[in-house]
Structure 1
Amino acid sequence: MKQLFASFLALSLLFSLTYAEDFDYLDKKNNTWLQVYSNSLKAHNLDDEIKILKNEIQRASGKRKAELTQLLKLKTSKRKILDELPQSFYGLLEKIGVAHDAKEVNIIEYLFKNKNNNFNIQNRKLTLLEKEYNDAQEYLNKELNATQSQEKKDTKKEAQLINAIDFFDNAKDLLEHKKEVLKHSKEAYLHELKSYEITQLPRHGINIAVIILIFILFHFLKHFIIKKAKDEDQLFKIKKVLNISFFLVLFLVLIAFNINNIIYAATLIGFIAAAITISMKEYLQSIVAWMHLSFGGSVKIGDRVLLYMNNNPIIGEIIDISPFKMTIYESINNTTSLQLKRAGRVVFVPNNYFVTNYVYNYTHDKMKTIYDLIEFRIPFASDTAKVEEITNEITLEVTERYMEVASKQYGHLKKRYDMRSRDFRPRIHLIPDPIEPCFTLYVWYVTPYHQIMELKSQLSQKIVKRLHKEGIEFYVKK
């Protein structure tokens, strides 16, 4: 049995070496056809070897089975490598060709004739393949004559060459057929171009002329109106109206030109709609935001709002909400006093800002009061209990009437949202300062949004005077 296996293994190795040399002459020429034919023969022989090995493995056992399995893996790997190479003349010629659809002919294709260039490239490729095919046939015939003229006949190689020459002769029809298909495809393409020139091109020329005429008319109209207009704001509005009107008219004209071709018209409408959406994205967002603001109830005319534009705070009353912008009148308050140092300006904010940014509403629904804060610094040695008592007494006295108002307003807000009950009494806190050796006295109190500065001034004066009267000093940084 061991001798039988050794003989089989030797024969297999010998067969592999013979196989490697059998078709070596086909790879000597740098020729695509010969390489494809050689790949096909090698793949066929490997398939036969793999089939034999699989049958032997089923009958084998032990060490012999393991060795045969390793040999099978080697052959299978070689076969996979061959699968990555072309193995048929049909696959070689299949890459030559240009897909053509008569419906694709349009003014762009007519002007640049891109497919015609592709046809010329494919024809040059096919000419090169035809030359290589003729060289391959000539080479095989020379090899056959040389083999037959030898004193010691190589019958195996001679039979292989005869089979190869017969195979190449039969493949000649594939090459001729591909030439005919490419020729007829190009003729059909040129015919469609000529047909387009006679039937479609004049109509498209008229369409382009009409579009150019519309553009010229709008240009002269805009120039005439600009010369007549004197107010700069009015001129800006007129320009905007004219630009929008021009695009709308152009849009309608393009639809009218292509109304007979529903699919083309729908595609055109889609492209134009996408272009308008991209170019007027902010305006469209502003219109959507305007609808949300008008019907959503988050803000309305008369509300006081705080927002940040480029990290700069803007606070004031909303005096107008239009489809594209919101107009805010800047008010006098803590923010304008401490940071901006100015107020009374009219600010225009695009509506789309309210879609992607935070907006602080001081007067949402019926809630017209907010918490405000006053800060003082008290030395550690001060009587903090007394400070807290005096501050709470004065703050309660000044803001008591607003506490009841805030409580009623909060009741309306509570009906709309899921909120807990809240007490609007003053909040007094003494917190150690993280830097200086003193307490920071925080006085939180409720105040109407439109009286923030007045009430802060009144309350601050009363607290300071009362604490001084009681002998309590404020901390001063040395």
Structure 2
Amino acid sequence: MKQLQKLFFILLLCMVSLHAEDVSTVAESNETIAAKNDVFAREALIQEQIKQYQQELKRLDSQISDENVWVKSYASYLTSLEVKNNLEKIKKRIKWLSKHAKKSSDMDELTGLISKENILASQIDKLKGDSSAPFSKLITPPKIGEAPKISNPLEIFTGLSLIKTIDANYEDYQKRKESLNSLIILLRKELALYKKLSKISPQQYKNILVQKQTELERFERALDTMNVTLNVYQKRLEIAKISINKGIEKQVYKLIKIGIAVLVVFIVFFLLKLVVKKYITDNERFYMANKIITFTNFTIIILIVFFNYIENVSYLVTILGFASAGIAIAMKDWFMSILGWLVIVFGGSVHVGDRIRVDMDGKKYVGDVLDISLLRMTILEDITLTSIMQNRRAGRIVFIPNNYIFTQMIANYTHYSLKTVWDGVKITITFDSNHKKAMHIVKEITKKYSKGYTDITRKQLNKLRQHYSLKNTNVEPRIYSFIESNGLDIEAWYLTNAYGTLTLRSTISSEIVDAFNAEDDITIAYPTQKLHLSMQSEEPTAHNNEIV
């Protein structure tokens, strides 16, 4: 009985232990599953965080790429460094192969490396400026140069344009700095994300994190350099602008002074013209006085401007001395016309209002002088005997270069006080006419109609004696007779108005014809032929042409 109890107790213990083992196994299994689930959940959370960080990095990369000037500059710098490193490795390999190469494969490799070295060397030359510093071109401000000296009004516009350029350069440099500042903010955000990723996956993001830290440090150093440079650049720009503005203010003040001086000169000469107009009644004298006043006015204005803007007058005189020979040759006609103007104006050979005749290019022009300018005379062609006999036209405005006073024939019909000229008419009478009576009639007619001009000329010649030596001052009409082949020519010369010769000529001619026609013993001759007719068989004797 006792043994059965022991056996039962042992069996009971075995069953209890087996049940306990089953319960512990189930518990352990449940704990393992729970732990695995926790691991999976953490890994899923990590992957989700990595995914979020990567999406954020993509967004930052797109924003960083927008700042392409700085990024491209840095990329070019890295490329140049990489090319340099590769070139150094290739040079070392070439050096080793040139000493130890024995196989044909080694020689082929050496040839290929030499070609690659040449290619990389050419790339290094192109990237030479980029390998020295990552942002040397971008952080260097534009050159200012020396501020120009504003010495005349035209340079005011140059100064204003330079100020505008300076402001534009400063604004551009400031925009570059702001662009770099924005890029650094993005790079800092990017670095923070890489730090988070490096904590999650150190092995995967360790090298990238170091690279990004180096990149950020270089950009920050560039920003520090730009901050210092910008302050210095701003001060230099302010100094340049102050210098330019002072020059502009000085020129504006000088312009105001010159303007006031010119205005005063204009007012003085305007008042002088009014005085001349009031007290000089002779048109010719008024015109010349007006011309002299105008010329003096502009000469004074030119001198005012000249001496205000020419600092070294002796230097200018030297230049003009050397240039005068070239100017005299290149602009000979202009130069001679100016000299001719001086001769005309100060010599007094021709005045405005004078009636002159000019022989120019084989043609004769008679007219009244309208104007005498620095380079030419202007005349109005009138109807004269020259117009009737030669030109067959009149009323033209003719421009005569002043240099013609030295090279061409210019006749003045109204020089100084003279306002009259000698004119003449010619009429032919037959040989059997009473020529003495005819000459007397012609003389009486010419004396009658030219008496007023004769008296005027006598007074004018007396005035002209003050300037010239006059021997023959006979002003009475002159009658001449000449034997011609077809009769006796009677010529009458008389004094008439220089501006109206045709009027008196026409009157005298008509009066002479009427007077001759009224006389029985005076016959006006004209070319005729006399024919002798005969009924005899012999040939008639030839006779010369006769006038009847």
Give the TM-score of the pair, scaled to structure 2.
Answer: 0.40
Structure exhibiting the larger radius of gyration computed from Cα positions:
2
Give the TM-score of the pair, scaled to structure 1.
Answer: 0.45
